[in-house]
Chains A and B, each alone.
Chain A
Amino acid sequence: MVPPEYYLVLSAAIFCIGLFGILTRRNALYFLMSAELMLNAAVINLVAFSFQWGNLTGQTFALFVIALAAAEVAVGIGIVLVLYRNFGDVDVLNAATMRW
């Protein structure tokens, strides 16, 4: 039997890797992928503990999270597209005209 805390550590690791992706990547698309990764970390947790607690709430909710991740990426792509049309490339650092 895999003790449940390992799942916690695993999902935390994936969560942090996704976060690291967001902090360092300049390309907006990488942003999307990393965000996707972070959401999946949550999914792992949910499914693991659905089994732990013996009720299906976690798993069904996981489905919903996955669906929403997809929706998010859809909108994300839309935004990246518009970004490209306006700034010529998808580098996140160029889009810094407004500050202070």
Chain B
Amino acid sequence: MTDTDGSDRASAALAVTALFAVLATMALGAAEAFPDPTGFPADVSIVHNIGYALFDIGLGEIPVEGFLAAFLIIALALDVALDAAIYLAKREDEGSIVSALTDGGREVVAGDVAEREPTDEGGDR
């Protein structure tokens, strides 16, 4: 799998370095604006606190915002992602699904993958 041809790479590189430059200046600009890090108390187990945070139990010493809502949502989210992935990957065994409709790109002859004629250049204005 080769990469895009030369000219695209150059413009892509240019764009990315420009973005990096912006972000870097942003970062360096804020160099001395950061106070010294407050860090965490040594004797406290961060893992426990993360656990408390996940279930929004107020026992932890380190200040943290409650993540219970996010936890419940991510449960659903991962489930949905699983369904989606399975559906996409599933191969209907007895032949491919009869194409429901001529939807999407162009007319598709049921069954085999018809070669699509690229839409003509101009398209009547």
Direct contact of A and B (CB under 8 A): yes
Interface residues of A in 1-60 (CB under 8 A from B): 1, 3-5, 8-9, 12-13, 15-17, 19-20, 23-27, 30, 51-57, 59-60
Interface residues of B in 1-51 (CB under 8 A from A): 1-4, 8-9, 12-13, 15-17, 19-20, 23-24, 26-28, 30-31, 34, 36-40, 46, 49-50
Secondary structure at the B interface, as helix, strand, loop or mixed, is helix
> Hey, what's the 0/1 contact readout for B94-113 against A, CB within 8 Å counting as 1?
00000000000110000001
* A9 in complex: contacting residue of B9, B24, B54, B118, CB < 8 Å: B24
| In the bound complex, CA of A27 to CA of B3 (Å) | 8
Known contacts A51-B39, A55-B63, A56-B50: does B84 contact A78 (CB below 8 Å)? yes
Q: Report the nearest B residue to A99, measured CB to CB.
A: B119
Inside 8 A of B54's CB, which chain A residues have their CB?
A: 60
B77 within 8 Å of A (CB atoms): yes
Inside 8 A of A91's CB, which chain B residues have their CB?
A: 1
A71 touches B31 (CB 8 A): no
Chain B interface extent, by class: 35 or more
Secondary structure at the A interface, as helix, strand, loop or mixed, is helix
B59 within 8 Å of A (CB atoms): no
Q: Report the nearest A residue to B117, measured CB to CB.
A: A97
- Number of contacting residues on A, CB 8 A? 50
Inside 8 A of A64's CB, which chain B residues have their CB?
A: 67, 70, 74
| In the bound complex, CA of A12 to CA of B27 (Å) | 9
B57 within 8 Å of A (CB atoms): no
B124 within 8 Å of A (CB atoms): no
B12 touches A56 (CB 8 A): no
Taking the closest CB of chain B, its distance from the CB of A93, in whole angstroms, is: 7
| In the bound complex, CA of A91 to CA of B27 (Å) | 36
Interface residues of A in 52-100 (CB under 8 A from B): 52-57, 59-61, 63-64, 67-68, 71-72, 74-75, 77-79, 81-82, 86, 90-91, 93, 97-100
B38 touches A24 (CB 8 A): no
Q: Report the nearest A residue to B11, measured CB to CB.
A: A23
* B85 in complex: contacting residue of A54, A60, A67, A74, CB < 8 Å: A74
